[in-house]
Structures are given as C-alpha cells and as structure tokens.
C-alpha cells in the first residue's frame, strides 16, 4: 500500500500525468497519477489516504522545491495537472463526504489590479495542499470580498496584488474583514508586498511564495 502512495507522490512531484504522456523522460511508458490513483482505489486504499499520503505529499514536495528555487513554474503547472488527474478519481468521495478538504480559502486579486497569474499559481498550491479554493477573480472590491466571506464562511482569505499602487487596497479589505469576521485569517502576497507592509495593515500572514502561505494555512487554519 505504501508503495503505491509513494509512487503517486513521486508522479505528482515529477509531473507524470498519465501513461500516455512522455514527460518526464525518466518515467516514459510508466503509469502516471491517473492510473495509479485508480489502481489505489481499486485495491481498497482509503481515498483520504490517497489524498494525503499520495497527492498532497507529492504537491508538498513540489512546493518545497519551488520555494527553494530548485523547480520553476512549468514544473509546478505540470505537477498540478498530474494532481488534477488524481483528484478527478476522488471527486465522488468529496461529494459523499468520505474525503474532506482541510478548509476553505477565498482568494482574489485586489481592486485596481487585473493580474491573475500569481493568484492562479497560489490557488494550485492551496488546492494541491488539500484546501477548497474559492477564486473570486481579479479587481475585487472590499465589498465583494466581504460578500464572499459571508457566503462561503472560509477559514482564510488570500489577497494578491502586483503593483505598489494597488497593494494599498489590501489595507481596507483587511480592516473590514477583521472588523466583521475576526476569526478569518488574512494572507497576502504579490510582487511589491513585504512583511513590514503586512504588519502595518494587520494581515495575519505574508509569504513571498505559495508554500509559505500554505504552511500558514495548515498550521493556523485547519
């Protein structure tokens, strides 16, 4: 049992989606996450274990490597694609309640900013870490964040900004969330954002990379 979970984790880490994909070269012709997850379920391994010890474990390794600068965005994207193949098999178990997310995160790019790539990558890591991500898009007003928090009741919100001129909008959103939903953690990130800025506006977490934000969620919100 452990072997197949380790194989799933390795395939997520290496971006081995399914047998038919030649990437990566060292795993060409071998089963990928798609086949291995199916086989693990057929052999009776609990879906929650497949998720945590296979899929999430693999993505967590990618996060660590990405944080260290040892892998790059294409590696992350292909790993996330591989992970999604496993998640496809687990979908019915999420619906039935046999598999549970660690919690919910509402994520968006703040008002004044249309940038969506950074947010997308962070979402991939959160999903790969077992979180249910509700992406409310770009150019999101404080009001829309508040409405999303009221509707989805997340444990945390993630705010992204690319520009110095738009990161100031994080302050208003953070203040409003802290006033109306004090239990919801605020996680911020983006090119111009710094720890001192996060401290000044009262955000709970700043991370220069997705893995740091995920670790915060796992530690403080699940």
Partner 1 sequence: MTSREVLTAIVKDKRCPERMGLHESFWQDTQREWEKQGLPPAVNILDYFNLDVREIQGSLFRTTSIPVDEQVVDEDEQTVIKVNGWGAKFREWKNRPGVPEHLSFDLVHEDVWKKKYRENLLGLDLRRFPDLEKLKENYRAGMVSDRFCVYYQLIIFEIMRKAMGDLILLEAMYLSPRWIHDFCDVVTNNIILNLEYMIREVGKPDGIWLYEDMGYTKAPFVSPALYQEFIFPYHRRVADFIHSYDLPFIMHSCGKIRPLLPHIVEAGVDGLQALEAKAGQHVVEMAEATGNKIAFMGNLDIRAFESNDPKTLEAEIVPKLAAIQKKRIPYVFFSDHSIPKSVNLETYQYALELHKKYGRY
Q: CA 21, CA 219: separation in Å to the nearest integer?
A: 36
- In the complex, minimum distance from the CB of residue 113 to partner 1, in angstroms, rounded to a whole number: 7
CB closer to partner 1, 11 vs 51: 11
CB 99 within 8 A of CB 47: yes
Peptide bond into 24 cis (omega under 30): yes
Kindly state the smallest distance separating residue 78's Cβ from partner 1, in Å. Answer: 5
CA distance 47 to 38: 10
Examine residue 138 and tell whether it contacts partner 1 (CB under 8 A). Answer: yes
| 114 part of the interface to partner 1, by CB under 8 A | yes
Return the percent helix, strand and coil in the chain, to nearest 5: 60, 10, 30
DSSP secondary structure letters along 152-206: H--SEEEEE--SHHHHTHHHHHHHHHHHH-TTSEEEEE-TT--HHHHHHHT-SEE
Taking the least distance from each CB to partner 1, the nearer of 51 and 107 is: 107
3-state class (DSSP) for residue 17: coil
Residue whose C-alpha is closest to residue 116's, from 142, 140, 137: 137
Stretch that binds partner 1, among 32-40, 109-117, 146-154, 174-182 (CB under 8 A): 109-117
- Residue range at the interface with partner 1 (CB under 8 A); choices 41-49, 92-100, 160-168, 197-205: 160-168
69 belongs to the binding site for partner 1 (CB under 8 A): yes
Residue number, 104 or 119, with CB nearest to partner 1: 119
Beta partners for 26?
Answer: none
One of 18, 52, 57, 118 touching partner 1 (CB under 8 A):
118
Whole-angstrom Cα distance, residue 112 to residue 163? 9
Which positions from 4 to 43 touch partner 1 by CB under 8 A, shown as an x/- string? -----------x-x---x-xx-------------------
| CB 204 to partner 1: min, Å | 21
Question: Which residue of 78, 90, 106, 142 would you call a contact of partner 1, by CB under 8 A?
Answer: 78
Q: In what order do the strands lie in the sheet with 185-189?
A: 132-135, 104-109, 156-160, 185-189, 205-206
Query: Which one of 3-11, 39-47, 64-72, 93-101 is the stretch in contact with partner 1 (CB under 8 A)?
Result: 64-72
Q: Can you give the binding site for partner 1, defined by CB under 8 A?
A: 15, 17, 21, 23-24, 69, 71-75, 77-78, 81, 112-118, 120, 138-139, 162-165, 191-192, 208-209
């Amino acid at each position: 049992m452990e072997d197949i979970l380790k194989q799933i984790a390795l395939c997520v880490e290496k971006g081995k989606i399914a047998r038919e994909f030649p990437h990566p070269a060292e795993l060409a012709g071998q089963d990928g996450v798609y086949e291995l997850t199916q086989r693990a379920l057929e052999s009776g391994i609990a879906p929650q274990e497949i998720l945590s010890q296979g899929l999430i474990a693999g993505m967590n390794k990618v996060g660590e490597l990405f944080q260290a600068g040892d892998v790059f965005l294409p590696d992350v994207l292909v790993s996330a694609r591989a992970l999604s193949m496993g998640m496809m098999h687990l979908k019915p178990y999420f619906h039935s309640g046999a598999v549970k997310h660690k919690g919910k995160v509402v994520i968006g790019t703040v008002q004044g900013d249309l940038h969506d790539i950074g947010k997308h990558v962070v979402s991939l890591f959160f999903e790969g870490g077992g979180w249910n991500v509700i992406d409310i898009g770009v150019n999101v007003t404080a009001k829309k964040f508040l409405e999303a928090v009221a509707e989805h009741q997340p444990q945390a919100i993630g705010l992204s900004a690319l520009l110095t001129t738009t990161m100031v909008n994080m302050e208003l959103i953070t203040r409003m969330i802290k006033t109306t939903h004090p239990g919801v953690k605020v996680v911020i990130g983006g090119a111009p954002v710094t720890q001192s800025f996060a401290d000044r506006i009262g955000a709970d977490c700043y991370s220069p990379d997705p893995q740091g934000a995920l670790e915060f969620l796992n530690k403080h919100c699940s």
